[in-house]
A and B are shown apart, each in its own frame.
Chain A
Amino acid sequence: MLGSVDFQDVTVIADLEAGIGTLTRLAEQRVDAVLVVVEPTPKSLEVGQRAAALARDKQLGRIVVVASRIRGDADLATVAGHFPGQEIVAIPDDPAIVEADRKGVAPLDLAPDAPAVRALCDLARSLLPVPA
């Protein structure tokens, strides 16, 4: 559906099935941006690398690696090492996100000024279309 529907003036954010199965089946050039979300663990990075490679092969537009739960420079360096030359956005490890998950509420509502939430808002703003 993501590839075949004419979305007119709607912006679609698709939270895909975990893993790369859906991405594998996505036709080429069918999205404008791919956010590859990883955390600094070997398994997550491995999935992320495969996702980024697929996204490149299928020319799925701008690829941003979203490095989650970053605790410091070492974590960021680990992620960067797995995605040379890629645009990377660091989202700090943030207890506010954990608390929102525990309470079953939106992080944006619970803690709009939390560092991780602000970093995600900055990421979103970087996706805004540039005025013609």
Chain B
Amino acid sequence: MKFTRLLSLFVSLSAGVWLLNAQGPGGFGAGGGKGKGKAGPPPAIDFSGWWTGNMQEDGAERGAGPDLVDYGGVPINEAARLWALSYDTSRLTSRFHQCDGYVAPYSVRAIGNTRVWEERDPRLQTLIAIHWYSQTFEGHRVFWMDGRPHPPVYAPHTFMGFSTGTFVGNALRVETTHLKQGWLRRNGLPESDQTTLTEFFTRRGEHITYTSVIKDPVFLSEPWIKTTDFYRQPTDPGAWLFPCEDSEQVTGRAPDQVPNYLFGTHPYAEEYAKKNNLTLLGALGGAETLYAEFEAKVTTATPAEARARMLPAPGPSQTSRAVDPDPHDGEIHVLPVRDGVYMLVGDGANIVVQVGDEGAFVVDTGAGQLTDKVLAAIQRLSPKPIQFIANTNFHPAYTGGNEKLKKAGSDPSVVGTFLSLSTPGAGSTASIIAHENVVGRMNGSMGTPATSPESWPIDTYLADRLRRFHNGDSVELFYVPNASTDGDSLVHFRRADVIVAGDVFNTTQYPFIDVANGGSVQGEIDALNAILARTVFQHSGEGGTYIVPGRGYLSDEHEVVEYRDMMAIIRDRVKAMIAGGASLQQVKTAKITADYDTRFGANSGAWTTEKFVEAVYTSLKTPASKKQ
């Protein structure tokens, strides 16, 4: 496509969206509005039927996929470009990526047919939801039309996201949040889990004009506006099912090996531009490639200018643009997970509570600032006393409430046993369980400041695992050595299939690799793989086993595998620099996390990007096992 035609296309699309948006107040933000000067809501529009997307300028997405490093016309930022230039398509052969679904903003424009139907209240005939089902990965979107609110920030994300709809003028307007990380284009251009999507569906007889506005604070510098068209199918196209099962594809790859290209080494970076006689600068994309002014630059840009964009720009590191999932309102928020397991948010690290016929089983106790409210929340879930407390690690954000919660509970299972003989008072309080090194770190014997003896675990294990059958579930603590610390446990509620990850995994920042207390980057990667060794997805690479992160939103294996990939890639970059003789300062200056900083980076606070990079460097230079 000629560049001027591309420009005029985008200008016309932008104008179209502006016109649509002008029909209702509120801009592209959440909400929506009624038609100006009209009484009552606009009439509902029926989209029911079978629909197929017209093959237009989006042919590459609907067919065999776009070329590598074809990013032109997409308002990506530096982080997205670097992320994509690091992406080796071989990554998709990993068992944990083979069934990844398409995210909603991509799914609508991708291959396959769509079926739409209404869900109405059988008695009142009010519209509850509009279902938009795509053949591609059986993508089933639900546009809630009944005015329900979006879930809290700490609720799970899905490939389809959570959508609410309103009729605005002659269009259905849909707002979507809670999306997973996915593709802007499936040549490696990423779309983050912080994306919000605004869509307009306008029916024109047997056609739907579809306009989407993608806002991604992590990977886009301005909204990306796209349109496409659907035409109605008179008969059922069939073939609606597409079950995906992962399998062995490329065999013999180590579990911690994630195919990627180091910055500036993408072997096919210029292939697309050369093949199509385009300027490399244009192929590398960015908001400027959307505007007419860029045409002048096309003729003057040098190859060196383009190649400079394949490396992190000098200057200070970017910081996270993600929404903080902690409400910070002084309250404890309870999120049901599954089968008597709940996630409590609001007091430092996430707390997990399992309830049933026996006393509550609590995993981690938060920072200790809101423990009375934590206790009240637990007592609302179960009238029985807390029986067990498991600590995934010794950090204060995870153990701050130990003493109070312990004293509020009791453990009848140890009364009269060896534990009550060796530990005075055992049984009259809840029993705290953890890896042995957690005790060592809390009682001061391993070089860290001692905490109150009442907060120390009394039931410990040294290696492998510790087991309890409690409240009808098999609960296992697995030791993951030298990850965040030298005493990390994963806690798996097997029947509920919920894994509590502690400081090993979070959705808010780079992992806290506490090198001084036995943490290491390789142990962190191994621990993330230990989680993945126990997960089973439900459908198209999502759902199934839930993972409660130390901080952040309730996750599944998709979030963990993206986090694992990131850690392996960052490790590879630092390793390569160390092999080349780089000093710590040189590694820091190279900005080796530039493609992840807009999602996880921090330049202030307790855990900055600089500290994280230093931890990676230090633990690779001096492996953890040598320090003990």
Asked if A pairs with B, the answer is no
